[in-house]
């Protein structure tokens, strides 16, 4: 069974995010507002709590794909994780993350990186855990070559992970079952992180899906 592609959206374009983060930089500089947490703080905290409780060493190399304002990395740093890298394809996002987090957490590392175009060797090593909250969605919403770019994304994730490395993804566009179909050729399901559910028309669903995979 092949899932239908998502309808194209400006949320899948570099221009949209470049402009959005430029505004957030200005808001932070003038008002001290660090910007939005994509999908909300509750969703982010559920994933952060899972990472903290999954048993990986605090020195494990962790990469945050589409790091935005650095919220996830700063929360992991508070929990004692020490080897953290945030990447985003928008220079503006990296600038914002550094402005928001570097004073309290100078050890955090950031890098401009486009997962659909750049070589994973540029990241400087393999990662025991990769985290994504919204980047795969953005790739899927891109008006150009979304299907091909999704496959590139999947291959890149596999290449950047260590053996048995973990991949934690949160999506508001794909269901748990769809994500499992997309990633199952290269990874095995480890668990689904429970998310709040709603019932509509007799069917039960979730606003977001958070799924953990393990590299085969």
pLDDT digits 0-9 by tens, 149-204: 999 999 999 999 999 999 999 999 999 999 999 999 999 999 999 987 654 455 54
The domain tally of the chain equals 1
Domain assignment present for 91: yes
Domain assignment present for 18: yes
Domain assignment present for 115: yes
CATH code for position 53: 3.40.50.150
pLDDT digits 0-9 by tens, 20-75: 999 999 989 998 878 766 656 788 999 999 999 999 999 999 999 999 999 999 99
Give the residue with greater pLDDT, 216 vs 202. 216
How far is the C-alpha of 34 from the C-alpha of 44, rounded, in Å? Answer: 15
Averaged pLDDT for residues 103-123: 97
Domain assignment present for 182: yes
The structure tokens 């550094």 sit at 98
In sequence order, the 6+-apart residues with CB closer than 8 A to the CB of 129 are 51, 56, 60, 61, 62, 63, 165, 166, 167, 168
Question: Is the entire prediction scored with pTM above 0.85?
Answer: yes
| pLDDT at res. 197 | 61
Domain assignment present for 1: no
| pLDDT at res. 202 | 56
Domain assignment present for 3: no
| pLDDT at res. 206 | 58
| pLDDT at res. 32 | 85
Q: Which domain range does residue 111 map to?
A: 10-215
How far is the C-alpha of 23 from the C-alpha of 139, rounded, in Å? Answer: 22
> In the predicted model, is pLDDT for residue 1 greater than 80?
no
| pLDDT at res. 187 | 97
Domain assignment present for 29: yes
Domain assignment present for 4: no
pLDDT digits 0-9 by tens, 88-100: 999 999 999 999 9
């Amino acid at each position: 069974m092949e899932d239908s592609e998502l309808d194209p959206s400006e949320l899948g374009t570099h221009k949209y995010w470049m402009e959005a983060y430029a505004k957030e930089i200005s808001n932070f500089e003038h008002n001290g507002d660090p910007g939005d947490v994509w999908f909300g703080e509750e969703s982010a905290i559920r994933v952060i709590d899972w990472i903290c409780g999954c048993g990986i060493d605090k020195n494990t190399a962790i990469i945050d794909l589409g790091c935005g304002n650095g919220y996830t990395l700063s929360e992991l740093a508070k929990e004692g994780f020490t080897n953290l890298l945030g990447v985003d394809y928008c220079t503006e996002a990296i600038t914002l993350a550094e402005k928001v987090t570097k004073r309290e957490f100078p050890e955090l590392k950031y890098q401009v990186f486009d997962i659909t175009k750049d070589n994973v060797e540029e990241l400087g090593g393999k990662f025991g855990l990769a985290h994504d909250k919204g980047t795969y969605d953005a790739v899927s919403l891109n008006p150009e070559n979304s299907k091909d770019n999704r496959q590139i994304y999947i291959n890149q994730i596999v290449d950047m992970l260590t053996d048995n490395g973990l991949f934690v993804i949160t999506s508001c566009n794909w269901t748990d079952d769809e994500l499992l179909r997309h990633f199952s050729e290269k990874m095995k399901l480890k668990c689904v992180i429970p998310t709040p559910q709603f019932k509509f028309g007799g069917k039960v669903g979730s606003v977001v899906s958070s799924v953990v995979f393990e590299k085969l």
